[in-house]
């Protein structure tokens, strides 16, 4: 058991190192793994013919993979949802370099609900995608990853800010600008110049880009007994990795579907996000390619189930007052079933019982999470997708410390547990 737990944790760390660079690199990594496992890519813009298994890469930042037996399609589909995006710092195009007293800063904006101070005083790099002119006034998309520590955001010395440990609030516009150069080391520097040099293209051919800062420190297994995983973007790449692992390794005895969305951290209201019609369009096209009637499609969806897999808050005794007294979820004590009476989570007594039954069957522990009644918690993918597909579902995840920190911490045993749960679910 210990070896299996450590194997899964090492695999997760490798996945985080590759995929945690940017959402586009995560998408590419996932698609590569699906191709290696024998799944064929289906292009969204092509006419579709029936394929039993395949995947769709949508706008290079979301992935939908399926294995469907049309003879058993009315039995329903088992879905797992996760998301590939995480809070970050996005570089503004246009005046991307600011020159202040000979120090060159990147002009950035905050993506999602980042814990800002965790981005300070650490080595950062830049990754994402660049759009470059091609023939006939068209353009091509190229992924980029500078890989090295090329930027940092310095803190203010305590001598100049005696309130820094007393609730000092960082300003997103003025305090979160990464330093990249001094102008005497690179005359006339610009981010476009750095990109053109790195990619070997003409600076004037760069039309635009979607570039983000990321923490260059590798994922690691830490603690005296190696019980914790620490990395960037565990939320929610850990759930994406677990669902991908189970999807590839669980055989073909059931209809299964994994959805890895973009944009969850900013409300899911984009074409790659859960609020869009993208998943519904994909499902409709797959049903149509199987020559399934609308009646049979509705029967299939009625018999389907959704697991919305997003990380959960682990109990931290340093902040005891932030947790519900009887629902404290502890790292390495099992997967977390999330509930909320206002349905910010999709879990019901029925769907929770289904997951608990699966856990009991394979003898893995589970925990239940509720927010304190006087604290407004977050929401996630489950309520969005189950609403427009009219499917029952549950919100689950693994407990973690410091959600939305630049560097988060989760448990090695919990990752193994949820992989085993997903494997059983897909059987």
What are the percentages of helix, strand and coil residues in the chain, rounded to 5? Answer: 35, 25, 40
DSSP assignment of 275-330, as one string? TSSHHHHHHHHHHHHTT--HHHHHHHHHT-EEEEE--EEPP-GGGGGGS-TT----
Angle between helix 234-249 and helix 23-36 axes, rounded to 10 deg:
10
Decide: residue 51, CB within 10 A, 0-12 exposed, 13-18 middle, 19+ buried.
Answer: middle
Angle between helix 381-389 and helix 278-289 axes, rounded to 10 deg:
40
Q: Residue 423: name the closest of 97, 3, 139, 80 by CA.
A: 80
Q: Residue 32: name the closest of 50, 9, 14 by CA.
A: 14
Percent share of the chain, pLDDT over 90: 90
Please give the class, per CATH, of domain 2-86+232-426.
alpha beta
Check: CB of residue 332 under 8 Å from CB of residue 412: yes
The yes-or-no verdict on residue 310 having pLDDT over 90 is yes
Domain 88-215 indexed as CATH 2.30.250.10: yes
Tell me, what's the pLDDT at 186? 61
Tens of pLDDT, residue by residue over 399-418, are 999 999 999 999 999 999 99
Q: Residue 406: name the closest of 50, 8, 122 by CA.
A: 122
Tell me, what's the pLDDT at 102? 84
The angle formed by the CA atoms of residues 70, 76 and 80, to the nearest 5 degrees, is: 110
Tell me, what's the pLDDT at 375? 87
Mode of pairing for the β-strands spanning 408-411 and 78-83 = unpaired
Angle between helix 23-36 and helix 2-19 axes, rounded to 10 deg:
130
Phi-psi region of 292 (alpha: psi -120 to 50; beta: other; left: phi over 0): beta
Locate tokens 């100049």: which residue? 160
Q: What is the DSSP secondary structure assignment for residue 136, as one 8-state letter? A: G
Tell me, what's the pLDDT at 184? 59
Q: How many C-beta atoms surround the C-beta of residue 102 within 10 A?
A: 10
Phi-psi region of 45 (alpha: psi -120 to 50; beta: other; left: phi over 0): alpha
Check: CB of residue 96 under 8 Å from CB of residue 193: no
Q: What is the DSSP secondary structure assignment for residue 14, as one 8-state letter? A: H
Tens of pLDDT, residue by residue over 181-236, are 887 566 557 889 899 999 999 999 999 999 999 999 999 999 999 999 999 999 99
Check: CB of residue 73 under 8 Å from CB of residue 292: yes
Tens of pLDDT, residue by residue over 82-120, are 999 999 999 999 777 888 888 899 999 999 999 999 999
Q: Residue 352: name the closest of 394, 298, 307, 317 by CA.
A: 394
Tell me, what's the pLDDT at 185? 60
Locate tokens 């189930």: which residue? 305
Element (H, E) at 235: helix 234-249
Structural domain boundaries in the chain: 2-86+232-426, 88-215
Tens of pLDDT, residue by residue over 28-76, are 999 999 999 999 999 999 999 999 999 999 999 999 999 999 999 999 9
CA–CA gap between residue 84 and residue 22 (Å, rounded) = 9
Check: CB of residue 257 under 8 Å from CB of residue 77: yes
Tell me, what's the pLDDT at 97? 80
pLDDT band at 1 (very low <50, low <70, confident <90, very high): confident
Q: Residue 152: name the closest of 118, 125, 170, 186 by CA.
A: 125
Element (H, E) at 349: helix 349-362
Tens of pLDDT, residue by residue over 288-299, are 999 999 999 999
Q: What is the mean pLDDT of residues 249-271?
A: 97
Tens of pLDDT, residue by residue over 138-163, are 999 999 999 999 999 999 999 999 99
């Amino acid at each position: 058991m210990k070896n299996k737990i450590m194997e899964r944790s090492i695999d997760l760390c490798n996945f985080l190192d590759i995929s945690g660079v940017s959402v586009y690199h995560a998408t590419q990594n996932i698609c590569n793994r699906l191709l290696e496992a024998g799944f064929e890519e289906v292009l969204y813009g092509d006419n579709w013919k029936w394929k039993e298994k395949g995947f769709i890469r949508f706008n290079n930042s979301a992935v939908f993979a399926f294995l469907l037996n049309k003879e058993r399609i009315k039995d329903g589909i088992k879905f797992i949802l996760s998301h590939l995006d995480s809070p970050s710092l996005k570089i503004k195009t246009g005046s991307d370099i600011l020159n202040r007293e000979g120090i060159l800063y990147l002009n950035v904006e905050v993506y999602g609900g980042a814990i800002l101070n965790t981005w300070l005083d650490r080595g950062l790099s830049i990754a994402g995608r660049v759009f470059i002119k091609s023939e006939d006034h068209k353009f091509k998309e190229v992924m980029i990853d500078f890989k090295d520590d090329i930027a940092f955001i310095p803190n203010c010395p305590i001598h100049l800010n005696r309130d820094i440990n007393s609730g000092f609030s960082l300003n997103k516009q003025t305090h979160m600008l990464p330093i990249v150069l001094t102008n005497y080391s690179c005359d006339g520097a610009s981010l476009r110049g750095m990109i053109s040099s790195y990619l070997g293209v003409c600076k004037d051919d760069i039309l635009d880009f979607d570039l983000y800062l990321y923490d260059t420190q590798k994922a690691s297994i830490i603690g005296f007994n190696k019980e914790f995983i620490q990395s960037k973007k565990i939320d929610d790449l850990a759930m994406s990795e677990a669902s991908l692992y189970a999807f590839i390794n669980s055989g073909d005895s059931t209809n299964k579907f994994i959805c890895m969305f973009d944009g969850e951290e900013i409300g899911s209201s984009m074409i790659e996000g859960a609020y869009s019609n993208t998943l519904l369009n994909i499902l409709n096209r797959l049903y149509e390619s199987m020559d399934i009637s609308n009646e049979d499609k509705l029967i299939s969806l009625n018999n389907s189930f959704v697991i919305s897999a997003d990380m959960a808050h682990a109990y931290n005794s340093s902040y005891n007052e932030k947790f519900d007294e009887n629902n404290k979820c502890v790292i390495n004590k099992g997967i977390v079933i999330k509930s909320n009476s206002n349905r910010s989570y999709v879990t019901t007594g029925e769907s929770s019982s289904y997951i608990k039954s699966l856990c009991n069957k394979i003898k893995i522990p589970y925990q239940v999470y509720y927010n304190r009644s006087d604290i407004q918690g977050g929401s996630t993918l489950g309520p969005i997708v189950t609403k427009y597909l009219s499917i029952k579902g549950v919100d689950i995840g693994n407990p973690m410390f410091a959600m939305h920190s630049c560097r988060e911490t989760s448990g090695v045993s919990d990752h193994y547990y949820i992989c085993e749960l997903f494997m059983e679910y897909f059987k």
